[in-house]
Structure 1
Amino acid sequence: MRSLREFAGGIGFFFQGLGWVARNGRWWAFGLIPALIAFAVYVAALIYLGNNASGIADFLTPFADGWSEGWRDFFRGALGVLLFIGGLALAVLTFTALTLTIGDPFYEKLSEKVDPLDGPDDTPWWRSIPRSLRDSLVTLLYVLLFTIPLFFLGFVPVIGQTVVPVLGALVSGFFLTVELTSLAMERRGMRRRDRFAVLRGNKAPALGFGVLVFLLFLVPFVAVIAMPAAVAGATLLVRSRLIPAPSATPDHPPA
């Protein structure tokens, strides 16, 4: 029961972040800029993949050339669909990392407004971007370690249609929380290993927050609208639940 309450509490932090950006519309608009750029990149990539998925499937399956036409077309068609679904899933998983990398100076400012600290990290944004990109690549490797086996388990009858999607959402949600909380944790002087340790010790709220964000990010364009709220919510999660800072109070700049 406690884990369920903490999971629900994690969900609540997204809505707290949504409330914060709703009250401060200027910062919501400010946070949309990098999300729109990343969204345009992914839309173009997915359109290209959708138009060329069958050709890629043909290229990857030369061994099927000798099959009967019906089975060959069915197999390659199914593979093309799986390639597009895989590309869509990868886009969802990497959207946050790319958006945070593009928008590092934007989201640093947003995070500072949500959670002002007495001694904030004054590292210039042009120095923090390489570190952020490196951390995102490491996180992506962890994601692939989990999602590649889950992808193949998806072909197992029953389990692939029931258990695997749930596990996939949990894994993706956890690592989305890893990405989104990195801003607030880095401002507290925490590096990647320490951030992972904190989140592993608070799995239930981390999963509650991340799974909701993951499900929202599956909906086209909702990811763009929700990104500033997700950053604000993750900052509040760190400030209020993961690494409480009683002396810090959220700033509410004029909208």
Structure 2
Amino acid sequence: MRDLGVGLGYLLKGQRWVARHGRQYGFGLVPGLITLVLYVAALVALALWGQDLVSWSTPFADGWTDPWQGLFRGLLTALLFALTLLLAVLTFTAVTLLIGQPFYESLSERVDRDVSPDGTAPESGLPLWRELVISARDSLRIVLRALVWAVLLFAAGFVPVLGQTVVPVVGVFVTGFFLTEELTAVALQRRRMELRERLALLRGRKTLVWGFGTPLGLAFLVPFVAVLLMPGAVAGATLMARDLLGEETGESGGKGERPVPAEPAPRAGRSAV
């Protein structure tokens, strides 16, 4: 359970880091604002025309008498909007990171240099276009995994009692895990770690991951809050990635400070767990 507090601590440390580096914070807001505008437009369109979409897709209910037709289509419309909102939360980070790859890559490198005892940051050595392709590919894989979980949780939500108690809690933890994967990917991809290795690394420290991602996932339910927290979340995820790999880090996150002992980092090309 100690790792829950440690994970939350990295989230807070990331927010403090960007608060001390205002320029990096300002640049980091841009991708989130772009994504927010796109998502809000999609949700508004669904709210305006979602009922028409449901009516078009359920012609078999045209002959139903009131109130059954209205209740049935109203329920489907509400479920469609709820599922879309859940997918928006699950995919917001992936889309924002994809749009803001150059911004967040630069921010993550700055964090690495700032906390590294020797002031250096790992580099992938890949051209930007290649990094974008890898990021888009891995983000799609994560979104598909998240979609499977979303559908399963959506279906489980109809189970009496269980669907109103256990399922929402599981959904929050699942969201937190996938958010953390997307955010730590910025730092771990620079270290040439593949998606399978990253997932194995995070599964080995699930409590730490939940401590970081679960409160962040709850905060991301408020879209504008998600935009404001995104730069700090990337910074905090970079700090946590260093912990997961056993890399030395200054105690207070600054150059020239005494580093804390660390375990040897996993060898490249092998799973970390």
Question: TM-score if structure 2 supplies the norm length?
Answer: 0.87
Looking at structure 2, the residues matched to 118 and 11 of structure 1 have their Cα atoms a distance apart, in angstroms, of 24
**Which AA in structure 2 matches 1:92?**
V
User: Residue 224 of structure 2: which of 221, 226, 250 is its match?
Assistant: 221
Give ranges in structure 1 of 5+ residues lacking alignment.
none
- After superposition, the CA RMSD in angstroms is 1.5
**Which AA in structure 2 matches 1:103?**
G
Give the aligned partner of residue 46 of structure 1: 43
**Which AA in structure 1 matches 2:32?**
A
**Which AA in structure 1 matches 2:227?**
V
Give the 3-state SS of the residue equivalent to 1:80 in structure 2.
helix
**Structure 1 stretch displaced more, 198-207 or 241-250:** 241-250
User: Residue 15 of structure 2: which of 10, 14, 18 is its match?
Assistant: 18
Q: Residue by residue, what CA displacement relative to the aligned partner does 1:81-106 show, whole Å, maximum 9, x if unpaired?
A: 11111111111111111110110010
Give the 3-state SS of the residue equivalent to 1:68 in structure 2.
coil
Give ranges in structure 2 of 5+ residues lacking alignment.
114-119, 256-273
User: Residue 124 of structure 1: which of 117, 124, 127 is its match?
Assistant: 127
Give the aligned partner of residue 247 of structure 2: 245
- 1:208 aligned onto 2:211: yes
Looking at structure 1, the residues matched to 142 and 188 of structure 2 have their Cα atoms a distance apart, in angstroms, of 15
Give the 3-state SS of the residue equivalent to 2:234 in structure 1.
helix
CA distance 1:145–1:27, change in 2 (3 Å): same
User: Residue 90 of structure 2: which of 93, 100, 104 is its match?
Assistant: 93
Give the 3-state SS of the residue equivalent to 1:115 in structure 2.
helix
Q: Residue by residue, what CA displacement relative to the aligned partner does 1:174-209 show, whole Å, maximum 9, x if unpaired?
A: 011110000111111211111111001011011111
Looking at structure 2, the residues matched to 125 and 50 of structure 1 have their Cα atoms a distance apart, in angstroms, of 38
Looking at structure 2, the residues matched to 150 and 247 of structure 1 have their Cα atoms a distance apart, in angstroms, of 38
8 Å Cα contact 2:220-2:226 kept in structure 1: yes
Give the aligned partner of residue 264 of structure 2: none
Looking at structure 2, the residues matched to 109 and 98 of structure 1 have their Cα atoms a distance apart, in angstroms, of 17
Q: How many residues align?
A: 248
Identity percentage of aligned residues? 51
Structure 1 runs of 4+ with >6 Å offset: none
**Which AA in structure 2 matches 1:175?**
F
Q: Write 1 or 2 for the structure with the bigger share of helix.
A: 1
